[in-house]
Chain A
Amino acid sequence: MPGPIQSSTPDLTKHPWFNDWYVFVISHPLIWFVCLIILLLLILIDAIAKLIPQLNIIRSKILVPIAKYLKYDRLSKSAIKSDICGHVNQECVSMRQYLPDGWVPDLEIKWVDTENYNSLLDDNKMILRIRPIDNQDKNFVNAIYYYFKSSFFPKTQALIPKAHSEASILYVCRNIVAKRGGKTIEIFEDEILEPAIQKHKQIVNNLEDYNVINDRGFFTGTFLRELHKTASEVRFTSERCNVGEETKNIIGHIKNFIDTYKNSGGKMPPKIWRYKGKISDYAILLVAKPAKKSLGVNGYVNRARDSFSEGVKRLYVFGANNEKDFAVSVISSIQAEVQGIKLIEEFCTPFDYRGEKGGIAACFEKN
């Protein structure tokens, strides 16, 4: 009678090594419990880091020194990615409340080690070379610049004058880079900003203008939004060649509006509230002036209605920082009571129209 079939593979559970380990695990349960908890925590942090940028920064602070010491490529790539994505996405969260919807998606570094020629052409995305971790400041500057270049003015970048599309990207990048500290700002100014200014002399003037209008919340609030909306409207018409002139006029109007507001002592000439150009046609409504607050929201709703009945395409409503609740009620009332318009977007501004930090705004459009 043949005996039972013997398995050709040895039984690992009977191996003396396994036995020793098993005895060790059983006799030191605390060590293994702690190891297991640490492992689970690392997995959890890794998962949450994908959702919360601050955790990516913490991870990068742990990984960067280790990667610099060990010079291990895989660890370096992980450290570089965490550092860049963490810092950029942290700023993106705060920028998202100011910029138009969809302009600041989360940055994701996608490493490519090999690629097919045809798939590279089909993908049509530029490939950035990332230097070793010792050059991390330069890596950061390059990554953030190309990220904003591919995110700003989606589908309309070709229509916007280069000196403005470039200047607005540089303006936002510079603010973010300055917050990172270290040599980053120096590298950004020397390697990105200076050559860009040398190429387009107008950029330096535009940056000054953006500072002026940003201090009152109109850079992201009106300028970028109106420029993008205007360019989108005329993208497939012969009017697209007028976008350059219109850009100049819009920024001129906003600067004039701010000057008048500062110097008029509350009595603004009626014409200044509206800009009517060849393509763009918008009006501005400032709410929450303390003297008028007691009158309720009706005065603002009527002004919004009048603006649209006079033919305005878009209305930008701005609220002051310390009266946000009132501004919200004005925006809600306009949305509910004025017929034939729609609320495009409600957003925040880094400064309110009085120059104080934090404001609220909304953009309405004629149906």
Chain B
Amino acid sequence: MLYYDKHMKLWFNKSKNDVKAVYDANIVSYLKSIGFYDKIIRGEQLCLFCGNKITIENLEIIIPKDNKINFVCNNKKCLSQL
């Protein structure tokens, strides 16, 4: 493989990395669909890292991990622990 061939490949590398995202306006319907909306409203769901209550406003990331669904709040320190 020559240097010049490598450059041709840069534009045609079409493998994708999907980042799943939920839009702010759809957060309630999304939480309802996965069955966590009521728990969050009741304040029963805690942040995976800081242990604070997750609310609709402070919810930032949803992480499926160890066969469980975890939630992370928007605290800067929590986000850096991912």
30 pairs, CB–CB < 8 Å, chain A vs chain B: A77-B23, A105-B13, A105-B15, A110-B20, A110-B21, A111-B22, A113-B23, A114-B29, A114-B33, A116-B33, A125-B18, A126-B61, A126-B64, A127-B20, A127-B30, A127-B61, A128-B21, A130-B23, A132-B25, A142-B60, A142-B79, A147-B19, A150-B19, A192-B76, A199-B81, A331-B3, A346-B2, A346-B3, A346-B6, A347-B6
The chain B residue sitting closest to A119, CB to CB, is B34
A102-B17 Cα distance, complex, nearest whole Å: 10
Q: Which residues of B contact A80 (CB under 8 A)?
A: 23
The chain B residue sitting closest to A343, CB to CB, is B1
A96 sits at the interface (CB 8 A): yes
A146 sits at the interface (CB 8 A): yes
Contact with B along A96-119 (1 / 0, CB 8 A): 110000100111111111111100
The chain A residue sitting closest to B2, CB to CB, is A328
A108-B13 Cα distance, complex, nearest whole Å: 13
Shortest Cβ gap from A323 to chain B (Å): 12
A127 x B2 contact (CB < 8 A): no
A285-B1 Cα distance, complex, nearest whole Å: 19
B16 sits at the interface (CB 8 A): yes
A222 sits at the interface (CB 8 A): no
A115 x B7 contact (CB < 8 A): no
Q: A127-B21, A149-B82 are in contact. Are A106 and B16 (CB under 8 A)?
A: yes
Q: How many residues of B contact A (CB 8 A)?
A: 43
The chain B residue sitting closest to A150, CB to CB, is B17
Within 8 A of B (CB), among A308-363: 324, 327-328, 331-332, 343, 346-348, 360
Q: Which residues of A contact B42 (CB under 8 A)?
A: none
Shortest Cβ gap from B3 to chain A (Å): 5
A347-B20 Cα distance, complex, nearest whole Å: 31
The chain B residue sitting closest to A139, CB to CB, is B21
B76 x A195 contact (CB < 8 A): yes
Q: Which residues of B contact A192 (CB under 8 A)?
A: 76, 79-80
Shortest Cβ gap from A168 to chain B (Å): 15
Shortest Cβ gap from A120 to chain B (Å): 5
Shortest Cβ gap from A122 to chain B (Å): 8
Q: Which residues of B contact A73 (CB under 8 A)?
A: 23, 25-26
B80 x A195 contact (CB < 8 A): yes
Q: Which residues of B contact A11 (CB under 8 A)?
A: none
A115 x B76 contact (CB < 8 A): no
B18 x A129 contact (CB < 8 A): no
A125 x B21 contact (CB < 8 A): no
A123 sits at the interface (CB 8 A): yes
- Quick one: which of A96, A112, A120, A149 contacts B69, CB cutoff 8 A? A120
B22 x A93 contact (CB < 8 A): no
Q: Which of A120, A126, A190, A196 has the most CB of B within 10 A?
A: A126
A97-B59 Cα distance, complex, nearest whole Å: 37
The chain A residue sitting closest to B76, CB to CB, is A195
B22 x A127 contact (CB < 8 A): yes
A147-B18 Cα distance, complex, nearest whole Å: 8
Q: Which residues of A contact B59 (CB under 8 A)?
A: 129
Q: A123-B64, A348-B6 are in contact. Are A151 and B17 (CB under 8 A)?
A: yes
A109 x B21 contact (CB < 8 A): yes
Shortest Cβ gap from B33 to chain A (Å): 4
A12-B20 Cα distance, complex, nearest whole Å: 45
Shortest Cβ gap from A169 to chain B (Å): 11
Q: A114-B33, A117-B35 are in contact. Are A125 and B64 (CB under 8 A)?
A: yes
B21 x A93 contact (CB < 8 A): no
A113-B11 Cα distance, complex, nearest whole Å: 31
Q: Which residues of B contact A199 (CB under 8 A)?
A: 77, 80-81
A108 x B30 contact (CB < 8 A): no
B21 x A143 contact (CB < 8 A): yes
